[in-house]
C-alpha cells in the first residue's frame, strides 16, 4: 500500500517592524563586559530603539553608556519571565541574550521558557555577539 504524505502549511504572520523597534537585552554576569562593548560599538543603532533589559544588565547599560534602558527585575528574580511575557504579547521585536553556556544558572527553567517563547512567536533571538551583530544590522533603521 502506497502512503501519501500531506504537506502542512503553517501560517506565519508577517511582523510589521515599528519605527522604533523594541529590543530586549539580557547578559549573564560573565558576559556583561561583552554586552557593554557591544552596546558602545552599536550605540548609533541602539539609540534609535526602545530598550528594555533585566535588572543588573539594564543598570549597567544605563550607567556605562549613553543609552536609556528600561529596567525589569533581575533574571533570577523573574526578569527573564517578564521579558518572556512581553515577547508573548508581541511587544518585543528582537531579543539579545548573551548567555554564559559554561555555567549553570539557578533560573535555567526561566531561561528555557524565554528561548521557547521566542521560537513560538517567531521573535529573532541572538545568544552570542556574532548573531547579535547580524540581527541588529538587519533592523535597517
- Which one is catalytic: 29, 44, 50, 80? 80
100 in active site: no
Distances (CA, A) of 108 to 3, 93, 99, 119: 42, 23, 11, 17
**Superfamily per CATH, domain 22-137:** Methylglyoxal synthase-like domain (3.40.50.1380)
Distance (Å, whole) CA 66 – CA 129: 20
Domain ranges within the chain, ordered by starting residue = 22-137
Rounded average pLDDT over 8-24: 68
Per-residue pLDDT band at 18 (split at 50, 70, 90): low
Per-residue pLDDT band at 107 (split at 50, 70, 90): confident
DSSP 3-state of 102:
coil
Assess contact for 61 and 51: CB atoms under 8 A.
yes
Assess contact for 36 and 129: CB atoms under 8 A.
no
Rounded average pLDDT over 1-12: 50
What are 71-83's pLDDT values in tens digits? 999 988 989 999 9
pLDDT at 1 over 80: no
Over pLDDT 90: what percentage of the chain?
74
Per-residue pLDDT band at 44 (split at 50, 70, 90): very high
pLDDT value for 17: 63
pLDDT value for 21: 97
Amino acid at each position: 500500500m502506497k502512503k501519501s504524505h500531506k504537506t502542512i502549511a503553517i501560517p506565519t504572520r508577517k511582523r510589521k517592524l515599528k519605527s522604533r523597534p523594541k529590543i530586549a537585552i539580557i547578559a549573564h554576569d560573565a558576559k556583561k563586559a561583552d554586552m557593554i562593548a557591544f552596546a558602545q560599538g552599536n550605540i548609533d543603532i541602539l539609540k534609535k530603539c526602545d530598550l528594555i533589559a533585566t535588572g543588573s544588565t539594564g543598570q549597567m547599560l544605563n550607567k556605562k553608556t549613553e543609552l536609556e534602558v528600561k529596567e525589569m527585575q533581575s533574571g533570577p528574580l523573574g526578569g527573564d519571565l517578564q521579558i518572556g511575557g512581553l515577547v508573548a504579547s508581541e511587544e518585543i521585536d528582537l531579543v539579545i541574550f548573551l548567555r554564559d553556556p559554561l555555567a549553570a544558572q539557578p533560573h535555567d527553567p526561566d531561561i528555557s521558557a524565554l528561548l521557547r517563547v521566542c521560537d513560538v512567536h517567531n521573535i529573532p533571538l541572538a545568544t552570542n555577539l556574532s548573531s547579535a551583530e547580524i540581527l541588529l544590522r538587519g533592523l535597517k533603521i
